[in-house]
Chains A and B, each alone.
Chain A
Amino acid sequence: MNAESKYKKQDFVPDGAVKWCAGCGDFSILAQTQKVLAATGRSPDEFAFISGIGCSSRFPYYVNSYGYHTIHGRALAIATGTKIANPELSVWVAMGDGDGLAIGGNHFLHAVRRNLDMVVILMDNQIYGLTKGQFSPTSIRGQKTKTAPTGTMEDPIDPVALTLGLNGTFVARTTDRSMKQMSEILMRAYEHKGFSMVQILQNCPIFNDGAHDLATAKATRDDHTLVLEHGQKMIFGKDKDKAIVRDGFKPKVVNVADVNEAEILVHDEKDSGLGHFLAQMQGSDYPIPLGVFIERTAPTIDQEYRTSNDAEIERLGKGTLNNLLHQGETWKV
């Protein structure tokens, strides 16, 4: 973070109204993002925001930088071309759970695998908002929606577990109500060299109100979330009385009082084994982990293209039109 950034949040706010429903969780995500962008100290001209289709995909219109609102599910494929064409840009992709994980699921897999250097904000409201209330790939089993009147019959995707399974290099989760954590994570995602996947649990008051209440409501959040902090013990609960320990290959929730302190797990963002282990914390037996699961360094494909082209230019000399045309076997007539 650049303490003396010459930019203010306002520099990233364009003219024109924001057209989300009142109370939509996307507002706070937008505001935190704009603050973080200002804090980076980089000119608004150097950011490229790309999105697909959906409520959250309006995001690029609301950030005063370069923006491309594209087609359903394809934001990551488009961003891949943008980043490889111009690695200097800071590329951000805004996507929803349906856009990113259903119609765009294939691109998601490959973007993670390639470790493209970009920030992906996955606004997860567990519902299709723009088409007015159909279940999404993150909707919980049994959720009643217009297209599942008796409840869905599918298990949801956990985006964190999915990204970890693909060896993602920066994987984090936060909520639309955790302002401080969200902005810290977004700044770290920006600074990370590689594919930064930030899942933000987002409330859709219109079609899926309260879906994330356990994790976000004042009354419940402390007992139902585990804040992951590098080097810190995994202790949670209103009274800091619960903890995570290892039970074979699974995490287990225990009372702090019942265990030896040394048994309580300590979070380590560099330990990918631990990341996978924590990703198993899905469902009602566990608190919802929030924070950075993993951060590790690995080559990014945009730089790999740059380096391999430079190596070929070094090896063969810079290609000219003339040697392009005259390559291979030629003869004179």
Chain B
Amino acid sequence: MNDTIKIQELDQVVIRFSGDSGDGMQLTGLQFTGASAVHGNDVVTLPDFPAEIRAPAGTISGISGFQVQFGSKKVNTPGDFPDVLVAMNPAGLLANIKDLKRDGFAIIDRDTFTAANIKKAGYAEEVDPLSPEASLHKKIIAAPITSQTMAALSDFEMDKKSKERCKNFFTLGILFWLYDLSPQYTTDWLKVKFGKKPILAEANIKTMTEGMLYAQNSGFFQSQYRVNSAPTVPGTYRSLTGNEAAGIGLVAAAHLAGLKLFLGSYPITPATTILEEVAKHKNHDVKAIQMEDEIAGICSSIGAAWAGDLAVTTTSGPGVALKGEAMGLAVITEIPLVIVNVQRGGPSTGLPTKTEQSDLLQAMYGRNGESPMPVIAAKSPADCFWQAIEACRLALKYMTPVMLLTDGYLGNGSESFRIPDESELPKLTHTMVSDPEGYFPYNRDPETLARGWVKPGTPGMRNRIGGLEKDALTGAVSHDPDNHDTMVRTRQKKIDNIANDIPDLEVLQSKDGNEVLVIGWGSTYGSIRNRVAKYQKQGKPVSHAHFTHISPFPKNTLEVLRKYKKLVVAEMNLGQLSKLLAAEFPVEVIPLTKIQGRPFTEEEIELVVDTLL
């Protein structure tokens, strides 16, 4: 026992776990996150999957990563650069050492640093990865993790492979001790997980405990750290990825609308886990259908929406491209439909596992003809829940397809989600009608301009609709030029009017003037908010506005934009929101763009904003 060890308090910490796909890094990261969240920290995570499912072991392309930021205040992002890097093999160290903060440290499994592994990782010949030059003069804690694990399990009746597989729990133990976290969360989890194989639960618990003891006694660490619990709204919490949150939001929306949920979809990275999430909830009478292709995904949903279900299709950019014609059908036949695009790097197959916001213009205009639809974007993993409900609200109330944009960063990233009370959820209305008196398919509600929704099977309401232009009242096919003009303008007006039914654009306002407004949309929220909050603490005149509703824009948008001398629009594309704002409003904007498959760092925002101050 080493009694000289002190406990230091920290506001927030970023840990990056890195190892082979088979090293269990996602699991280790999630367990650490769970323990930290239960302790009361605010947590945001981001996994980084290898692009290939079975890339060669030990190579950089086979690296699986997981980053978590936990803090005693709202952290908003998984963090830019890690304070701690856990590298379970040489490739993990080589791939990540440059990102490790100068005053941070890496914990490595010394046992995996064999000549063969070092070579496989891609180190130049005769380079010692642990030398100051190779490790960029950063601190490395070389713990014999594999051999300590084997020693800890010497009394266990298990084969060598199974014992070795426990090594990530040794690492977890080191981290639990280091951050003074209780291992209870993981102990409970292991007992449930291995209920049928108690020996595996015991082995992992033993390994984890040994890891904690090792950290305490090895002499590597002079202090422990503590990140106090964050002052969050009291309530019940759970951890959700953006895709899980979106899936649950969709099922919740069906409850709120009193309808059945139908999700017609097709597997595509990084959207598939929404389909998987919804498919779990069959006891909510949802129908989650894996169709034969993207087009069939949206078409089956259109057929279900016509039949009276709350219908949704989920996909990523390439899938949206395929669904374009069908979206037009939903626009012209004015049926409710939600299209979720979990964006990824493009064009074409692009970067399936990396994040980007480059489908905004596609969402706005990627259909033939004048084909307007509401476009909204979620700003954090938990917000995917709320925006899934918002998308359904708009679709049902206005009888229109709605595009919800998230992205790979939100979809795979997770954060603590405060479970709302049912009274906090919006009521969703729809336009279903069943009274034949005076009914015409294109009778509109004078306020929302939405037409009535009639389920086939409803007595006495028979009608026939389709993708040909329709008469403005009867819905009969019409090629009349004036009628077409009326219908095109009416469909646009219906969408424009939604501006009256959405929240105003809010600003995180600087007390020190209106010099710069940093504008974002979607997943850039966390990094912009964190950096702007720092500027404001420093007394700088920098404010932040973030768009959730992009089509239509909130009513007060121009009023907000006008107040600031300089408008910076930060987005992960070549300036798509910049174009939309400049086209719609008499303002000049400064695009701040990045297209590296990775979210903004605070530093990248600083580089541009500093020059404007």
Residue numbers of A with Cβ under 8 A of B are 14, 16, 43-50, 53, 60-61, 64-71, 74, 77-86, 88-89, 106-107, 109-110, 305, 308-309, 312-313, 315-322, 324-333
Is there an interface contact between B303 and A82, defined as CB atoms closer than 8 Å?
yes
Q: Please report the C-alpha to C-alpha distance between residue A82 and residue B299 in the assembled complex, in whole angstroms.
A: 10
Given B284, B306, B455, which contacts A324 in the complex, CB threshold below 8 Å?
A: B284
Residue of A nearest to B262 (CB): A85
Is there an interface contact between A328 and B326, defined as CB atoms closer than 8 Å?
no
Is there an interface contact between B467 and A71, defined as CB atoms closer than 8 Å?
yes
Is there an interface contact between B255 and A70, defined as CB atoms closer than 8 Å?
no
Q: Please report the C-alpha to C-alpha distance between residue A332 and residue B289 in the assembled complex, in whole angstroms.
A: 35
Find chain B residues with CB under 8 A from A44 CB: 462
Q: Please report the C-alpha to C-alpha distance between residue A328 and residue B456 in the assembled complex, in whole angstroms.
A: 38
Is there an interface contact between B307 and A77, defined as CB atoms closer than 8 Å?
no
Given B236, B255, B292, B425, which contacts A109 in the complex, CB threshold below 8 Å?
A: B292
Is there an interface contact between A331 and B236, defined as CB atoms closer than 8 Å?
yes
Given A46, A69, A84, A106, which contacts B457 in the complex, CB threshold below 8 Å?
A: A46
Known: A53-B467, A109-B292, A333-B235. 11 other contacts (CB 8 A): A49-B464, A66-B456, A68-B466, A77-B291, A85-B304, A309-B282, A318-B283, A321-B422, A325-B420, A329-B189, A333-B237
Is there an interface contact between A313 and B283, defined as CB atoms closer than 8 Å?
yes
Q: Please report the C-alpha to C-alpha distance between residue A43 and residue B462 in the assembled complex, in whole angstroms.
A: 11
Which residues from 274 to 321 on chain B have a C-beta closer than 8 Å to any C-beta of chain A? 281-287, 289, 291-293, 295-296, 299-309, 311
Q: Please report the C-alpha to C-alpha distance between residue A19 and residue B237 in the assembled complex, in whole angstroms.
A: 61
Is there an interface contact between A85 and B463, defined as CB atoms closer than 8 Å?
no
Q: Is residue B459 within 8 Å, beta carbon to beta carbon, of the partner chain?
A: yes
Residue of A nearest to B235 (CB): A333
Residue of A nearest to B248 (CB): A324
Listed by A's residue number, 12 A-B pairs whose Cβ atoms lie within 8 Å are A48-B307, A50-B303, A61-B464, A65-B462, A69-B464, A77-B292, A80-B264, A84-B262, A110-B291, A317-B283, A321-B255, A324-B281
Q: Please report the C-alpha to C-alpha distance between residue A109 and residue B233 in the assembled complex, in whole angstroms.
A: 53
Find chain A residues with CB under 8 A from B236 CB: 326, 330-333
Find chain B residues with CB under 8 A from A48 CB: 307, 456-457
Interface centre among B287, B309, B326 (most CB of A within 10 A): B287
Q: Please report the C-alpha to C-alpha distance between residue A328 and residue B239 in the assembled complex, in whole angstroms.
A: 9
Given A45, A81, A316, A325, which contacts B459 in the complex, CB threshold below 8 Å?
A: A45
Given B292, B329, B476, which contacts A106 in the complex, CB threshold below 8 Å?
A: B292
Is there an interface contact between A329 and B300, defined as CB atoms closer than 8 Å?
no
Which residues from 155 to 177 on chain B have a C-beta closer than 8 Å to any C-beta of chain A? none
State whether A332 and B248 are in contact (beta carbons under 8 Å apart), knowing that A77-B303, A78-B306, A320-B255 are contacts in the complex.
Answer: no
Which residues from 138 to 197 on chain B have a C-beta closer than 8 Å to any C-beta of chain A? 189
Residue of B nearest to A53 (CB): B467
Is there an interface contact between A324 and B251, defined as CB atoms closer than 8 Å?
yes
State whether A84 and B466 are in contact (beta carbons under 8 Å apart), knowing that A77-B299, A322-B422, A329-B34 are contacts in the complex.
Answer: no
Is there an interface contact between A333 and B40, defined as CB atoms closer than 8 Å?
yes
Is there an interface contact between A45 and B285, defined as CB atoms closer than 8 Å?
no
Find chain A residues with CB under 8 A from B285 CB: 309, 313, 318-319
CB distance from A63 to the nearest CB of B (A): 8
Find chain A residues with CB under 8 A from B477 CB: 61
Find chain A residues with CB under 8 A from B292 CB: 77, 106-107, 109-110
CB distance from B42 to the nearest CB of A (A): 10
Given A45, A80, A106, which contacts B462 in the complex, CB threshold below 8 Å?
A: A45
Closest 3 CB pairs of A and B: A69-B466, A81-B303, A319-B284
In the complex, per-residue mask of B407-433: 1 if CB is within 8 Å of any chain A CB, else 0: 000000000000110100100000000
Find chain A residues with CB under 8 A from B459 CB: 43, 45
Residue of A nearest to B419 (CB): A325
Q: Please report the C-alpha to C-alpha distance between residue A56 and residue B446 in the assembled complex, in whole angstroms.
A: 36
Find chain B residues with CB under 8 A from A67 CB: 463-466
Q: Is residue B260 within 8 Å, beta carbon to beta carbon, of the partner chain?
A: yes
Is there an interface contact between B300 and A80, defined as CB atoms closer than 8 Å?
yes
Is there an interface contact between A324 and B255, defined as CB atoms closer than 8 Å?
yes
Q: Is residue B217 within 8 Å, beta carbon to beta carbon, of the partner chain?
A: no
Q: Please report the C-alpha to C-alpha distance between residue A312 and residue B248 in the assembled complex, in whole angstroms.
A: 17
Find chain A residues with CB under 8 A from B306 CB: 68, 78, 81-82
Find chain B residues with CB under 8 A from A109 CB: 292
CB distance from A251 to the nearest CB of B (A): 33
Find chain A residues with CB under 8 A from B309 CB: 81, 85
Q: Please report the C-alpha to C-alpha distance between residue A68 and residue B468 in the assembled complex, in whole angstroms.
A: 11
Interface centre among B299, B303, B476 (most CB of A within 10 A): B303
Q: Is residue B595 within 8 Å, beta carbon to beta carbon, of the partner chain?
A: no
Q: Is residue B56 within 8 Å, beta carbon to beta carbon, of the partner chain?
A: no
Q: Please report the C-alpha to C-alpha distance between residue A279 and residue B260 in the assembled complex, in whole angstroms.
A: 42
Find chain B residues with CB under 8 A from A327 CB: 238
Q: Please report the C-alpha to C-alpha distance between residue A205 and residue B455 in the assembled complex, in whole angstroms.
A: 38
Q: Is residue B134 within 8 Å, beta carbon to beta carbon, of the partner chain?
A: no
Which residues from 452 to 480 on chain B have a C-beta closer than 8 Å to any C-beta of chain A? 455-468, 476-477
Residue of B nearest to A64 (CB): B462
CB distance from A152 to the nearest CB of B (A): 26
CB distance from A89 to the nearest CB of B (A): 6
Residue of A nearest to B325 (CB): A71
Q: Please report the C-alpha to C-alpha distance between residue A320 and residue B502 in the assembled complex, in whole angstroms.
A: 28
Q: Is residue B229 within 8 Å, beta carbon to beta carbon, of the partner chain?
A: yes
Q: Please report the C-alpha to C-alpha distance between residue A329 and residue B255 in the assembled complex, in whole angstroms.
A: 22
Q: Please report the C-alpha to C-alpha distance between residue A320 and residue B255 in the assembled complex, in whole angstroms.
A: 8
Q: Please report the C-alpha to C-alpha distance between residue A48 and residue B284 in the assembled complex, in whole angstroms.
A: 26
Q: Please report the C-alpha to C-alpha distance between residue A316 and residue B235 in the assembled complex, in whole angstroms.
A: 26
Find chain B residues with CB under 8 A from A69 CB: 464-468
State whether A82 and B239 are in contact (beta carbons under 8 Å apart), knowing that A16-B476, A325-B420 are contacts in the complex.
Answer: no
CB distance from A91 to the nearest CB of B (A): 9
CB distance from A297 to the nearest CB of B (A): 23
Q: Please report the C-alpha to C-alpha distance between residue A77 and residue B313 in the assembled complex, in whole angstroms.
A: 13
Q: Is residue B252 within 8 Å, beta carbon to beta carbon, of the partner chain?
A: yes
Is there an interface contact between B476 and A326, defined as CB atoms closer than 8 Å?
no
Residue of A nearest to B232 (CB): A333
